Structures are given as C-alpha cells and as structure tokens.
Amino acid sequence: MSVFRDVTQAVPVAVFKLSQDFNNDQDPNKVNLGVGAYRTDEGLPWVLPVVKKVEKVIAHDDRLNHEYLPILGLPQFRSSASAIALGAGSAAVREDRVGAVQCLGGTGALRIGAEFLRRFHDGSNNTQTPVYVSAPTWENHNAVFASAGFEDVRSYKYWDAQNRGLDLAGFLGDLETCPEHSIFVLHACAHNPTGTDPTQEQWMKVAEVMMRRRLFVFFDSAYQGFASGDLDKDAWAIRYFVSMGFEMFCAQSFSKNFGLYNERVGNLTIVARDPDNLQRVLSQMEKIVRTTWSNPPSQGARLVAITLSDPALFEDWKANVKTMADRVLLMRAQLQAKLQALGTPGTWGHITQQIGMFSFTGLNPQQVEFMVKERHVYLMASGRINMCGLTTKNIDYVAQSIHATVTSVQ
Amino acid sequence: MQSRRASRAGALKHSEKITKPSVFVDTHAAASNQEAKSLFAFKTDDDVRKVYLAGREYLNEQGQPYVSPFIGKIKRRLSSDQTLGSPHPSSFGLAEFNHRATEAVLGKKSSAIVENRVLGIQTVGFTGAVRLGAELLRHWYNGDTACQGPVYLSSHCDDSLAGVFQAAGMPDVRQYRYWDAGRRGVCVDGLLQDLETAPERSVVVLSASAHPTGADLSREHWALIARLMMRRQLFPFMLLPVAGLCHGELERDAWPVQYCQSLGMELLCAQSFSHCFGLYGEHVGHLLCVLRQSSVLLAVRSQTERLINALWAQPPVGGARIVATVLSNPAHRAEWQEGVWHMAARCMLVRERLREKLRLLGTPGCWDHLTQQTGPYCCTGLNVEQVEYLSKRKHVYVLPNGCLNVSAVNSCNLDYVTEALHEALSAEPLS
C-alpha cells in the first residue's frame, strides 16, 4: 500500500486548466485570452531584443563562471532592482535602509516575505495574524501566504462590480476595522485581475489609514512599466508610501517586463527604518532562503543587472517595455471602438480606463461559458481577459463574439 | 523634504515618524551558521598560504570551480538558437530534463518507470528538491496532513538539512549513528540499531553516494538496511548531492536508489546536476518520487504542483535546458561523460596523494579510508580543537566536524595541507 494512498486530487489551477482546454480545442478561430503572459501581434511570446543582446554578451563572457551566488543573490541585481522600484534618487536608498533578497520570481519573493512575517512580524508566531488580499486578487496570493503558515487569510473590499471600478469606501472601511498589525497585500499597479488601480488621491487616503492603524504594507509589483509604459509612473504608489515613512516589503517580478518568465527573476525589496533594523532583517532572510533554495539562480539576475546598470541597454529596455505597453493600449482602444461600432449593449469605457495586461470585461459566468464553448474564446470565469491575447487578426472575431454573447446570454 | 510631503498629505506629524520604533524592532539578528563563519574567517585571513577545504563545489587543479569548455559551447549555441521559444510554463520544469534525470537515477529499464508510478520534478537546486520532498511528506505522508516527523538524519550530515525539514514544518528531526571515527568508516551496527529502534514509519534520510564524510554504504550494507526499513515501514529519502562524482557515472552513483526501487520500496530521491555539469549558479536539481501504485500518481502530482506553486511557481529553465540538451544527444553525452570521469578520477588521485603524503610524514591515525572511499568529500577525524588549530595556526579551513573537500587540494597546496594536517594531529591542544 502506498504511503500516499490518501492523497486527494487537487483542484486544478484555473488558468492552467484553461490553457490546457485551449490547446485541446481544434476550432480554427480559437483565441486564448486567459494566460497571463505577453504575446506579440502574431500571438507569439516575445524575447525582448535587449534580452537577446545581453544573453549573447553573457554567453561569450569567459570571465563569468557558474559559481553559486551568495544566499541573498547577486548584489548588483538586488540594488539595481530595488532602485527601479524606489527611484534612482531615493532617499531611503541613500540612508542605507533599503535591502533586498533575490528570489525565484514574484512568487518566490512573496513566499520569502511571507515566511519572514510569519516568524517575526508581530511577535514570534504570526500564524493567527490576518493577511488581507484584495477581492478579487491573483489566486496564488492565498496559496502562498497559507503555505507560509498564515491561517487567517482574508479579503479586503476592492472591486465594485456594480460600478465597474474601485470600491474605495469598502477598502477604507476594511482598513479602519481590521485588527491592528494586519498585513495587507497591495498591487503596486495594473491590478490583477481587475486592471483598476487607485488614483493618487485614493492611494494617499489608503496610506493615511494604514499608517495610523499600524498595518503592514506588502506591495506586489509584477507589472512595473507595463501599466502606463512609464517605469516611474507605475512606481508612484510604492514611492509615495516610502516617502511617507512606511517600513514595508515589495515583491518585484521581472517575468513580464523583461519577458523572462522561465528564468524566475524576482526581488524582495525591504524598506526599514534604519540600517540596523535592516541588517537584522536580512540576517533572518538568509536563514529562510537557506532552507528553501539555498541560493538563487544566476542567469536571469545577471541579465537584468547588466541591463539596468548600462545606460544604453537601460534605454533599450525601456523602449522594449514601452513597445509592449503600447500594443496593449492599442488593443484596448481598438476593442472598445469595435464594440461601440457594433452597438454592443452595455458600456465599454472600462476597457480603456483599466490599465495593464488584464481587463475585467464584466461578463458573467454564463456569458463566459458561452464565449468559451460556442465561440472558442477562452477567458477566465471571472470575466478577466488578457489584452495581450488580442491581435489585429483576431480582434474582430473577439469583438463579434462579445457582441453575440451579450445579446444572446443574460 | 519629508515634512513638506507630510503637511501636503496632511496625515502625519514629522515627530511621529522618527520616534516610532521599527516594525522590525523585535527581529533579532540570526546567529550565523558555521559555514558562513568559516568562509568569512577564510576571506579575512590574509596569510598567503591559506587554503579553503570546506566548500561543496568541485574545484579543478587550478583551484577554480570546474567550468567545462564543452558546456560553454552548448550554452553559446543555445543562446543564439532562435527556435527556442518559451515552452509552456510547467511547475515541474522541463519535461526532457525530468525524463533524462529520472532515467539517470532509476535506469532505463526500471519497472517503476515502465509501470508509470514515477514522478520526476525539476527543482531549484538540491535544497529545493529536499524542501519540496519535505513539504510533500509534511502534508501527505500516510494521510497525516501535518506530519511532524520523525525524520532521521545521519550524524555528520550537511548541517543545513535539519533546517530544511524544520522550515517545511517537520520539527521532529533526530539522528542515527553513521560515522565511526575509530574505524574511519560507517558505523553499520550503530546505524542498524538506531533504525531498529526508530518509531515505525519514520522518514530516514540516506546518502546514496558522496556522504559528507566520504564513507558510503556498501551493497551488502544496503541489503541489510533495505530489509530492515521494509520490515519497520521506514520511508527512505535518498540524497545524491554530487551525482556522478563518486564513480564517474550517474547510474553507478545511483545504484542504491535502483536497488531499493527493485525491492518495491516507495522513496524520494533528491539529486543535483550542478557539480557534474559545473552549473552551480544555475541550480539544476531534481526530486524523484517512486510510488508503489500508479493509481496514486495523478493525485500526488496534483498536490505536488500546488506545493510548487506556493514556493517558486516554476523552476528556472536555463541550466535544465543545458543538461537536457547534453543528456539527450549521444555525441554530447559521450563528451560530457569524459569530463565527469576526469573529475571522479582526479578525486581518486588526490586521495591517493593525500594518503601517501600523510603516510610518509608519519601522521598519527590510519589513512586507508582515504583511498577506500570515493568522491570529493572525506573525513579527517580531526576533533574540534584540532580543526581550530588548523584554521588559526595554519590557515587551512575544514568543516567543524573534520570533513573536507578533496578536490580543493591540488599540486600547489598538497604539501602544505598535509604538513598542516600532520601538525594539527600531533600538536598539543590550543589552551
């Protein structure tokens, strides 16, 4: 008898199942609007030109050996990655109170940050400390914090389905009534899955309450550069919170903005009150990393570090990021225009108001099912679509499909 | 500038910010581990004769981590290959890598592979493999959703192993006797006794090859251990941290895993390809899970995927791609295999030289074990005081338990190292 005989089948991860179903679909018109990765107008993954350039440089550099990296990762990567989030002129960086841990993608950064908080945040055992994630949020947020030992993962109000926008009153209400020292996971920009970000004024209100009620700020920044095409603009919220004196974590992913999905390049940026606190935190982070993956892989981090530290390559990269962001903006504009031209019932302004890779179409589960089964257009049950799945070739079909769906299914 | 922003937001008094204690105020500094202390001491040691023998990596004759020009060639070719798109992301990593890695450990004709009851997973290095295996056991071993252990580790094992199991939520970590200092080999009687008295269903972590002491179990030993473990329902978690470097061949080093599998045992096996490919920075690890029944494979696979999604989502592709490329091409494989034989052979050569030198110096103790054992690691039998003497007086650094990495010994430092060992073993203890 197997020692694993009692293992139950796990519910498949929705987005992977969707991709699988899409792959198995034989319909020639099929469109995949589920996956969370950038695609070109040809529907292909895009290796950024700057990445190809730097990869060759690395492959031909004989001085680079394959030695283990330090536990916390490549120093040049860590500092340049944190600088991208906090800004080149960041006072916090100058004051030596910013540190970082190179991690395995955004997921790894969230996990290491979560493991630290569970051990040290508010006393030595935080298994009961509430962790708040937005309603809705990236489904893996729940899994990461739960796996790190947090038993009380809750949601804070965020998406107002009725008005298709931010439920600010609900959000602020949850901030006011939650237990002190609760941990809040905030999306730095391009909220996944709604594409709806707080405005600057709204962020200021959020910050005021969080500071007053001593809530812990944990930013998830997976789309810097992708939202508006401008790195600094997309980092405004993070920088505002830092300037307000928050101590915080920021999990950064370079999967999307560098197209390095498979290299697992992430960074956990830590902002502490002073260098002394920072050092103690980093020493504990080392212990946690050592028992998780020992030290991180070097290839992706080296690539990012080289790119960010060379002025010409940095400009190349920013241009590549803008290319991706611009294509998304174009698809947004075109989809909205086509739906309006078709006279599709409902308001579609949210398609261009929302920001980043994703859009919450507002289609209900029945409509989503129709889209998938009858039209072979694959999207998440929540109505979330990945704008990158749209191309000039399939956008008409998608617009017509939405139109057909909304007019025949209520 | 900060107070300007504060008044603009109208939210915060400047004084409040500077007097409030840090949210991290209760985070105490972590005690630095032995390896880090040792490495730091070495780095800050400015004696020109200093030698570091406490590392894990295989070093070449020039004292550098092994970098194969052949692997460099493959890497360059892969970097300019336009046809390589990003494959469909899989939590389990590269399928071709997993296929080859699993075959390398179990052998192509393994009944477990044929009967489809094997799960092979690319992990973030060796530690990642151990951590994932620990998480799997913690959540699913024998239907216990919060298995605490006991997990048995050998004496003189890698000191980070216990921490990995504890981090996964299995705090009950115990030890079984392994290294016999007197006989400079495995303390088999002690080992069997400890396993006999371990609670039934305990997890037992066993080195398939390249134990940190250099002392590996013989085939006869494995026969005894396997039978005992089956009788007492102990679960084997096998380790292959430097796959290929003991006997020069992956399959030979993995013999114990094949043997246990052939007896019908369920097991986990963590291995690393970092050493035999010289890909340390790329972290090419692999976790193998052999099940007794194929009917549980899908469920175990699905739950393992969940665990991976919350740890690192998917492993990095770079190193695995190189390994897969080499292992799936017979010509590449042959060229790579030459390099591995060379590494294993060099370890043997260094061992012979060490033994010969120590014999000539008349160093106290018996040194036959150096050549009776294989692989990059060995235990000198130095006690704590002697290890300290070695580092402080002679600037030669070994692990606190007296183990060292023979590949770090080369023609430049051989004389100095053996003289230093001789002195440490003959000297009066430091007061």
Model pLDDT for residues B28-77, shown as the tens digit of each residue: 888 877 778 888 899 999 999 999 999 988 999 999 888 788 888 888 88
Model pLDDT for residues B210-250, shown as the tens digit of each residue: 999 999 999 999 999 999 999 999 999 999 999 999 999 99
Amino acid of residue B96: E
In three-state secondary structure terms, B195 is helix
Q: pLDDT averaged over chain A?
A: 94
Backbone angles phi, psi at A138, to 5 degrees: -60, 125
Q: Do B67 and A66 touch (CB under 8 A)?
A: yes
Model pLDDT for residues A348-376, shown as the tens digit of each residue: 999 999 999 999 998 999 999 999 999 99
Q: Where are the alpha helices (DSSP H) in A263-310?
A: 275-290, 299-309
- CB-based contact A137:A174 (threshold 8 Å): no
- Check CB contact of A263 with chain B, cutoff 8 Å: yes
Backbone angles phi, psi at B343, to 5 degrees: -65, -45
Q: Do A4 and B300 touch (CB under 8 A)?
A: yes
Pick A281's closest partner by Cβ from B24, B300, B316. B24
Question: B348 vs chain A: nearest CA distance in angstroms?
Answer: 23
Between chain A and chain B, the number of residue pairs with CB atoms below 8 A apart is 256
Rounded to 5 degrees, what angle do the CA atoms A253, A285, B30 make?
Answer: 170
Cβ-Cβ contacts under 8 Å for B108 (sequence gap 6 or more): none
Q: Do B316 and A263 touch (CB under 8 A)?
A: yes
Best B13, B15, B23, B160 residue to mutate vs chain A (most A CBs within 10 Å): B23
| The pair of three-digit structure tokens given for residue B96, joined into one six-digit string | 């071709």
**What pLDDT score was predicted for residue B20?**
75
Q: Where are the alpha helices (DSSP H) in B328-382?
A: 330-361, 368-372
Q: Which residues of A touch B318 (CB under 8 A)?
A: 262-263, 297, 299-300
B181 DSSP assignment:
T
**What pLDDT score was predicted for residue B85?**
57
pLDDT over threshold 60, residue B15: no
**What pLDDT score was predicted for residue B292?**
95
pLDDT over threshold 70, residue B84: no
Taken in order B136, B139, B143, B148, the sign of the CA dihedral is: positive
Where are any strands of DSSP class E within A216-328?
Answer: 216-221, 248-253, 265-271
Residues A309-340 as b or e (16 or more Cβ within 10 Å = b) = eeeebbebbbebbbebbebbbebbebbbebbe
Q: pTM value?
A: 0.93
pLDDT band at A410 (very low <50, low <70, confident <90, very high): confident
pLDDT band at A245 (very low <50, low <70, confident <90, very high): very high
pLDDT over threshold 80, residue B205: yes
Q: Of A318, A334, A353, which is closest to residue A402 (Cα–Cα)?
A: A334
**Conformational region of residue B169, where left means phi above 0, alpha means psi within -120 to 50, and beta covers everything else:** left
- Check CB contact of A262 with chain B, cutoff 8 Å: yes
Question: What integer is the mean pLDDT of B378-405?
Answer: 93
Q: Which residues of B touch A288 (CB under 8 A)?
A: 167
The contacts found for B69-78 with CB under 8 angstroms, 24 or more apart, are B70/B332, B70/B335, B70/B336, B70/B339, B71/B277, B71/B278, B71/B279, B71/B322, B71/B326, B71/B336, B72/A59, B72/A62, B74/B322, B74/B325, B74/B326, B74/B332, B75/A59, B75/B322, B76/A59, B76/A60, B78/A59, B78/B321, B78/B322, B78/B325
d(CA B119, CA B289): 5
Q: Nearest chain B residue to A294 by CA: give it.
A: B127
| The pair of three-digit structure tokens given for residue B375, joined into one six-digit string | 């692989």
Model pLDDT for residues A279-315, shown as the tens digit of each residue: 999 999 999 999 999 999 999 999 999 999 999 999 9
Model pLDDT for residues A168-216, shown as the tens digit of each residue: 999 999 999 999 999 999 999 999 999 999 999 999 999 999 999 999 9
**What pLDDT score was predicted for residue B283?**
84
Q: Which residues of B touch A303 (CB under 8 A)?
A: none
**Conformational region of residue B430, where left means phi above 0, alpha means psi within -120 to 50, and beta covers everything else:** beta
pLDDT band at A66 (very low <50, low <70, confident <90, very high): low
Q: Of A216, A278, A258, A270, which is closest to residue A79 (Cα–Cα)?
A: A270
Bridge pairing between strands A265-271 and A159-160: unpaired
Q: Of A230, A231, A220, A217, which is closest to residue A84 (Cα–Cα)?
A: A231
- CB-based contact A73:A244 (threshold 8 Å): no
For the annotated catalytic residues of A, the residue numbers are 138, 220, 256
d(CA A194, CA A199): 14
Model pLDDT for residues A77-128, shown as the tens digit of each residue: 999 999 999 998 899 999 999 999 999 999 999 999 999 999 999 888 999 9
Between B83 and A334, the more confident residue is A334
Q: Do B310 and A107 touch (CB under 8 A)?
A: yes
Q: Of A378, A399, A385, A324, which is closest to residue A354 (Cα–Cα)?
A: A385
B128: part of which helix (H) or strand (E)?
Answer: helix B125-140
Q: Which residues of B touch A245 (CB under 8 A)?
A: 2, 12, 17
Model pLDDT for residues B99-158, shown as the tens digit of each residue: 999 999 999 889 999 999 999 999 999 999 999 999 999 999 998 889 998 999 999 999
Q: Is the ipTM of this complex over 0.90?
A: yes
- CB-based contact B34:B388 (threshold 8 Å): no
Q: Nearest chain A residue to B295 by CA: give it.
A: A5
**What pLDDT score was predicted for residue B16?**
45
pLDDT band at B6 (very low <50, low <70, confident <90, very high): very low
Q: Of A64, A259, A108, A306, which is closest to residue B315 (Cα–Cα)?
A: A108
Best B1, B12, B17, B27 residue to mutate vs chain A (most A CBs within 10 Å): B27
Cβ-Cβ contacts under 8 Å for A11 (sequence gap 6 or more): none
pLDDT band at B427 (very low <50, low <70, confident <90, very high): confident
Interaxial angle between packed helices B318-327 and A299-309, expressed in degrees from 0 to 180 and rounded to the nearest 10: 130
| The pair of three-digit structure tokens given for residue B267, joined into one six-digit string | 């097991």
Question: What integer is the mean pLDDT of A141-149?
Answer: 97
**What pLDDT score was predicted for residue B87?**
54
- CB-based contact B47:B397 (threshold 8 Å): no
Amino acid of residue A339: L
**What pLDDT score was predicted for residue B365?**
84
Taken in order B301, B302, B304, B305, the sign of the CA dihedral is: positive
pLDDT band at B291 (very low <50, low <70, confident <90, very high): very high
Question: What integer is the mean pLDDT of B263-289?
Answer: 93
pLDDT band at B428 (very low <50, low <70, confident <90, very high): low
**What pLDDT score was predicted for residue B429?**
56
